Structure 1
Amino acid sequence: MQTIKQIVQDIAAHLPEEATFDDAMHALYVRQKLEEGLRDLDEGRTYTQEEVEQHFLGKHPK
């Protein structure tokens, strides 16, 4: 498992030379969200497409 420092260094190494602070922050944000999603998947915190559709349409299973 990579440390935060290693992740930041890896992201920085893959940014183009003309990258901005906003580009770097966006890359870090995306990486954080991907890590959170993978952790949710590993821990079983997922929903089916049907469950999501029912939730957003206001229809709850009986």
Structure 2
Amino acid sequence: MQTTKQEVSDLLSRLPDDCTLEDVQYHLYVLQKIERGLKDVEEGRVYTQEEVEKKMSKWLEK
């Protein structure tokens, strides 16, 4: 398991030299969201297709 510092260093090495601070922030945000989603899956915090369709149909009725 990599440390946060190693993950950021790896990210920076993959980005082009002319990337902006905004580019770096965006990529960090995306990586954070992916990691959070994978953790949710591991911990069973997921919805089935049927559950999603049921929730969406309620939202779309309003």
TM-based fold match above 0.5: yes
Point out 4+ residue stretches in structure 1 off by more than 6 angstroms.
none
Q: Following the alignment from structure 1 to structure 2, what is the Cα–Cα distance between the partners of residues 20 and 3?
A: 23
1:45 maps to 45
Q: Following the alignment from structure 1 to structure 2, what is the Cα–Cα distance between the partners of residues 20 and 53?
A: 39
Structural RMSD (CA): 1.2
Larger relative helix fraction: 2
1:39 counterpart letter in structure 2:
K
Q: Which runs of 5+ in 2 are unaligned?
A: none
1:1-57 CA-partner distances (Å, limit 9, x unpaired): 111101110110100011000100010000000000000010010001221111011
**Between the two proteins, what is the percent identity of the paired residues?**
51
Count of matched residue positions in the alignment of Structure 1 and Structure 2? 59
